Amino acid sequence: MPHAIHPDLSTPDQILCELKAAAEVGDLLRLKDALARWDDTATGMSWFSTTLPERFVQIRHDISTTTMALQRVLNVNTAANCQSTWYREILPSEELVRWCLEHGADPKFRSAGGNIDIPSVAGKFASVGSLKLLKEYGADFTKSNALHSAAGSPRPGRIEAIEYLVDEAGVPINQREWEYDGKQFEEWKSMGVGTALHCAVKGKHLEAVRFLISKGIDQKIRDTKDRQAVDLARDVDFAEAVALMEASQQN
Tens digits of pLDDT across the chain (251 residues): 444 545 566 666 677 677 777 766 666 677 767 766 655 554 433 322 334 444 444 544 444 433 333 343 344 454 444 445 556 767 888 887 887 787 677 888 887 788 888 899 999 999 999 999 999 999 999 999 999 999 999 999 999 999 999 999 999 999 999 999 999 999 999 999 999 999 999 999 999 999 999 999 999 999 999 999 999 999 999 999 999 999 998 87
Q: What is the pLDDT of residue 52?
A: 44
Question: What number of residues does the chain have?
Answer: 251
Distance CA 88, CA 84 (A): 7
Distance of CA 146 to the CA centre of its chain: 9
CA angle 223, 153, 179 (to 5 degrees): 35
Q: What is the pLDDT of residue 80?
A: 44
Distance CA 119, CA 107 (A): 7
Per-residue H/E/C for the chain: CCCCCCCCCCCHHHHHHHHHHHHHHCCHHHHHHHHHHHHHHCCCCCCCCCCHHHHHHHHHHHCHHHHHHHHCCCCCCCHHHHCCHHHHHHCCCHHHHHHHHHCCCCCCCECCCCCCEHHHHHHHHCCHHHHHHHHHCCCCHHHCCHHHHHHCCCCCCHHHHHHHHHHCCCCCCCCCCCCCCHHHHHHHHHHCCCCHHHHHHHCCCHHHHHHHHHCCCCCCCCCCCCCCHHHHHHHCCCHHHHHHHHHHHHC
pTM for the predicted model, two decimal places: 0.71
Q: What is the pLDDT of residue 91?
A: 84
Assess contact for 90 and 97: CB atoms under 8 A: yes
